[in-house]
Amino acid sequence: MRNNVATLCARVGIAALASLGGLAVAGGAASAAPSHEIAVVHSIVAAAPTLEECSAIHERIEGLEARVLSLQELLGEATPAQKPAIIKMIRKLEAQIVDLQAQLEGCPA
């Protein structure tokens, strides 16, 4: 009886581990050997942009903002058929501006 209980407990434990993915199956046969996994953590540290890079980003933002303003003016004169394409261009430019502004976070004020 004691042997049957031990066997049952072992089977239930193995089934629980298998359902949680705790057992590795190599070549189709179940293995109760512990598996060793290595976690590799990569950290990426971005260097702060140089003054020249910051100034180039500012100029790029100013140019995109000027294009947005001109498209907004064009939007006022556009036909209903033209408006969706213009709005799409404005949104694309605004997304680029947001991305560039995020790059300015490391720049001196």
The tens digit of pLDDT for each residue in 42-71 reads 555 567 788 899 999 999 999 999 999 999
Residue 108 confidence (pLDDT): 78
User: 56 and 25 in one domain?
Assistant: no
Which residues on adjacent β-strands are paired with residue 24?
Answer: 31
Mark whether 18 and 63 lie in a shared domain: no
pTM passes above 0.75: no
- Which pLDDT score is estimated for 80? 96
Domain membership of residue 19 (yes or no) is: yes
Q: How far is CA 101 from CA 63, 69, 91, 107, in A?
A: 13, 18, 15, 10
**How many Å separate Cα 92 from the centre of its chain?**
19
How many angstroms from the chain centroid is the CA of residue 6?
48
The number of distinct structural domains making up the chain is: 2
Does one domain contain both 60 and 93? Answer: yes
Is 22 contained in some domain?
yes
Containing structural domain, residue 84: 51-106
**Is the same domain home to 26 and 60?**
no
- How far is it, in rounded angstroms, from Cα 34 to Cα 60? 56
